[in-house]
């Protein structure tokens, strides 16, 4: 049952994050959402509240430890617990660029937001989950986290690191009832994809059509340490995982 579960979603002001917040709200979940873009974040918050959802929206840069601590503290104070954490916040960085030409500062910034943030948020949420011995952590990865693509620069490298981080945490938590998984949502029609593939000439998926696997993992107590592809997900097909 997703109803009344407390769901944290980072990077929820647009794209997949917004679609996830909307999907979980429709299921009756309580939401704590954050993003760096305050205007878009509060617009999403108002839309969800108008749909009857209980929502806490906090402007936060999850690559900054002080922002993470404030956001999670406010969520725990408001809702008393965290049932599901979805580490979704990410950036592509500069448009397509060879590594030899990649700006060093941009490389550092992409790794901070796409990888360090997952470490910071998960580390902050985990103590409460461990006390209750319950929870689901879902990290958003990419095909570029499994295969190196020329000109995808720091983004792909950050997702390789995220996949290693996910696998490590899954191994460390295997004797608990906390599940750690990652989802590759596939290529989607989002502003970030416009940066990654500026002259895209093929059909892209919709973020709204890639949320089912996340809803499934919120409740699937028997799925741990897996890498799932959202575009190929069929709930009935995961009974043996």
Question: Which residues are identified as catalytic?
Answer: 155
Q: Which residue has the tokens 């002001």?
A: 13
What sign does the dihedral 4-75-137-232 (CA atoms) show?
positive
What burial class does residue 27 get, using C-beta atoms within 10 Å of its C-beta: 0-12 exposed, 13-18 middle, 19+ buried?
A: middle
Cα separation, 153 vs 147, whole angstroms: 12
- Token pair for residue 233? 């997900």
Q: Which residue has the tokens 């060093």?
A: 104
The answer to whether 105 touches 240, Cβ cutoff 8 Å, is: no
10 by DSSP, 3-state: which?
strand
Q: Which residues of 45-79 are buried (b: 16+ CB within 10 A; e: fewer)?
A: beebeeeebbbbbbbbbbbbeebbeebbebbbeeb
> Around Cβ 139, how many Cβ atoms within 10 Å?
25
Sheet holding 135-140, edge to edge: 54-59, 30-35, 6-10, 84-87, 135-140, 178-184, 227-229
């Amino acid at each position: 049952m997703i109803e009344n579960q407390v769901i944290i979603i980072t990077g929820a002001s647009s794209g997949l994050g917004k679609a996830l917040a909307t999907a979980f709200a429709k299921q009756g979940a309580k939401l704590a959402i954050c993003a760096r873009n305050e205007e878009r974040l509060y617009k999403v918050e108002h839309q969800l509240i108008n749909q009857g959802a209980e929502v806490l929206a906090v402007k936060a840069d999850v690559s900054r430890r002080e922002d993470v601590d404030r956001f999670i503290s406010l969520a725990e104070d408001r809702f008393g617990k965290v049932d599901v954490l979805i580490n979704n916040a990410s950036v592509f960085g500069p448009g397509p660029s060879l590594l030899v030409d990649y700006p060093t500062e941009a490389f550092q910034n992409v790794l901070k937001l796409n990888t360090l943030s997952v470490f910071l948020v998960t580390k902050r949420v985990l103590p409460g989950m461990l006390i209750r011995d319950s929870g689901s952590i879902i990290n958003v990865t990419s095909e570029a986290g499994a295969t190196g693509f020329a000109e995808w620069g720091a983004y792909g490298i950050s997702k390789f690191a995220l996949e290693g981080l996910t696998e490590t945490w899954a191994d460390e938590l295997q004797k608990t009832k906390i599940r750690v998984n990652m989802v590759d949502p596939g290529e989607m029609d989002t502003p970030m994809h416009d940066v990654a593939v500026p002259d895209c000439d093929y059909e892209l998926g919709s973020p709204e059509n890639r949320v089912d696997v996340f809803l499934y993992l919120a409740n699937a107590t028997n799925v741990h340490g897996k890498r799932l592809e959202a575009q190929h997900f069929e709930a009935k097909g995961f009974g043996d995982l």
